[in-house]
A and B are shown apart, each in its own frame.
Chain A
Amino acid sequence: MTAGTVLASSFIVPLFMLVAALGQRTRERLSDLLPFAPLPALLAALVVPDGTIVVLPRSLLGITLSLDKPGAMLLGAASLLWIAGGIYARQMLQDAARAVRFAIWWLTTLSGSLGVFIAADMIGFYFFYTLVSLAAYGLVAYDETAATRRASTIYVALALLGEAFLLMAFVLLAAATPGNSLLISDAVAALRSSPWRDITMLLIVLGFGLKIGLVPLHVWMPLTYSAAPIPAAAVLSGAAVKAGVIGLIRFLPFDVSLAGWSEVLMVLGFVSAFYGVAIGLAQTNPKAVLAYSSVSQMGLLAAVLGMGLGSGSRAALLPVAFYAVHHMLAKGGLFLALGAAAARRGSALLVLVPTVVLALALAGLPFTGGQLAKMAIKDPLGDGVASVLAQISAIGSALLMLHFLYLFRAGIAEAPADRPSAAAVVAWLMMVFAALALPWFLFPTLDGASRADAFTLQELWGAAWPILIGGLLAALLWRWRTRLPRIPEGDVLFIAERCAPTVSRLGAAFERADGVLRQWPIASMCVALLVVLTALALAMPA
């Protein structure tokens, strides 16, 4: 088996499982396959050598796949999360009436989510991106309540909007690429001299910004994660969101310094980083708090990428991927903890302690992967304003995570007696272990990084003090906790929803116009008018 076959099987195997589901017998057992679907991708991340490139045959759209270091890191971590999520989902779906449907959406989202990390051409990337974006609709809509209907509708509307931005961006990239090449690397190299450079950049930032939840395009995140069942929320918040991160890594032109765009990304990023914390503190649903934490964390990543774009070097990419890997594992683990806690109510402390560690890891707790993640992005951030802002955002993260832990603990006490599930605990433990251990293995692959650095007093203190200040702030806030404002999930979404009547009126106007045009006298007049207009248009020289 060649490296190329292994790489291609990362998305072909899950898609093949979907095809197999056309058969009655496979269909009935489809949910049993979920934990196994990401295995080829895990294998690919482990064994396929760096720099492998495969061109698939035309019947598979001629997609080009390649594996580089950031891609391999994200692919491996994402497949781990999908395995853990699959173990949980398989248990959840036993005897569930909508099991097959959920499994189909799951496998579709999964193949897209893993595929984006290895796609090297624009059509392939767009294909996988579409799979992961649109198929997630079915995962969000699983519990058929009013809340999930609203969340999934808003989600799919914004996902389609993101698709539209990216389609146009890719077309502009293709138009500026010399020859017929559709490779992402060729397109990005040509972007510098593209006559449509700024509009392309705008569309790329908007499209991927929607996916990673840059403010104000984040409104779908809290709604979606709150509405989705726990395993779905875990893989969506952990793995699916990273489609946006890899998108920015792949499509931003890091080889040249683009004045202006670097600042745009940094401003958007830091605004999101702080906005996410502020609104997250006003949430009462732990899932929504985790969602706002994602807004904040992804904002920080966007800011780092902005710095990288300004420096005109690719040095920031691997650190960003590393940070994203840690976020993926930790966030997935935290969502799964919500399920594990419900399953292990008798011994809540067993769940609580690792969760505290995992939650604070997101703020950079010493000795965790979080500390390494913060260390990794230190270089790209430089030592100017950006570095200070990043440290303040770490304080914010600590504060937000303490808020989450408070809600989490309160939630354990009053959680409804769910079905005790060993699978939930296994899946959760797997992610806790991965989030704590995996970064230590990956860290030395970064340029000029060694594990020993993490144990210097300076680094340990640097990681610890934002958490201590966060704890202090939390203690202060505790006194006013009853007076904190309560902001609905999706915050500024209400503005958009207020426009709904206007949109509806616009639709009604179209309907009236159609009614008028479809009357005989009007239509006949249109015929005459068009004959005259066409004749005039033909006669007049351009």
Chain B
Amino acid sequence: MTMERATILSGFGGQGLLFAGQVLAQAGMLEGKHVSWLPSYGPEMRGGTASCTVIVADRPIGSPVVDRADIVIALNPPSLAKFEGLLAPGGLLVLNDSLIEAVPGRTDLEILRVPCSALAREVGDERVISVIALGAAIARRPIVGEAAVREALGAKGRPEVVDANLRALALGLERGAPVVA
């Protein structure tokens, strides 16, 4: 059985979405998988809505543009409205509980609410918000391993940035971990 998982990361420009998407793609590549990363590259600006699509697969990837996703990370309300409909039944929807009050209309999804903005303030850097959401997502859907994500993060930026990102990842993983009964 072949595996192909599409993740859409979406939110405000400046929330680090494109970065977190690259980390996910890089992690998949480090695990020897096929990956693609595609940004929305319209006339976006800081504060506007931005998104990227990351595909991780165990065979060559077809369309880098998807019409159904396995995971949607929505960090602001417009992103929820825009991408909820693309999720396949049973797909994972990670919502930034700090900014999104709306309740998704669909009942066939797994919904994970994470106060990403509040947790980012705990780390002391607003820009790690997307890495927190990514951590929560891969805790529920291990499309890439934690070790590969840590390695990908470790290669990006100054030591204090890497440190903040690794703490953010840990917070996200903790929030996303399935509750053991």
- Say whether A and B bind each other: no
Give the interface of A toward B (CB within 8 A): none
